Amino acid sequence: MTLDNARPVAFVSVRNRDEGRAFYEGVLGLKHKSRDDFGDFYAFGDGLLRMTPMPDFQPHAHPVLGWDVPDIASAVRALNEKGITFSIYDGMGQDELGIWSAPDGKAKVAWFADPFGNLLSLSQT
């Protein structure tokens, strides 16, 4: 058995379930699929995102979740309009929108955080 055709499930932890739902549904526009005592499931491309409440959660410094989009500049602007601020890192050479471009120009990435400090990303490849 291989997992290449299995449906992926991503996980994100939040300190407050209601605030998490407001962000992932209201701001990012993910479609809520189900809820149980342990968390919420969202449609996430061909897979699922499991949002799990953990009151003592502390975020990590690396991205935990990302989306590959066809037009990163448009996606960044759309999220800016919803109040999302993209991270600018010293020495990365990002543009005014916070988009970093690979040296060959083929890949682009922009980073932002959810209300709990989870680092999320947009990419265009």
For residues 1 and 52, membership in a common domain is answered with yes
For residues 46 and 19, membership in a common domain is answered with yes
For residues 54 and 86, membership in a common domain is answered with no
pTM: 0.93
The domain total for the chain is 2
Q: Describe the chain by its helix, strand, coil percentages, rounded to 5.
A: 15, 35, 45
For residues 64 and 125, membership in a common domain is answered with yes
* Domain that includes residue 79, residue range: 59-125
Whether the Cβ atoms of residue 65 and residue 112 lie closer than 8 Å to each other? no
Tens of pLDDT along 30-42?
999 999 999 999 9
**Is the pLDDT confidence value at 1 over 90?**
no
Q: Quick one: CA dihedral 59, 30, 35, 85, positive or negative?
A: positive
For residues 116 and 67, membership in a common domain is answered with yes
Q: Which residue type is seen at 114?
A: D
Residue of 59, 66, 11 whose CA lies nearest to 38: 11
For residues 70 and 83, membership in a common domain is answered with yes
For residues 108 and 83, membership in a common domain is answered with yes
For residues 65 and 107, membership in a common domain is answered with yes
**Is the pLDDT confidence value at 15 over 90?**
yes
pLDDT band, residue 101 (cuts 50/70/90)? very high
CATH number at residue 123: 3.10.180.10
Q: How much is the pLDDT for 117?
A: 98
Tens of pLDDT along 72-99?
999 999 999 999 999 999 999 999 999 9
For residues 125 and 68, membership in a common domain is answered with yes
Q: How much is the pLDDT for 44?
A: 87
For residues 64 and 15, membership in a common domain is answered with no
- Above pLDDT 90, what percent of the chain? 95
For residues 52 and 69, membership in a common domain is answered with no
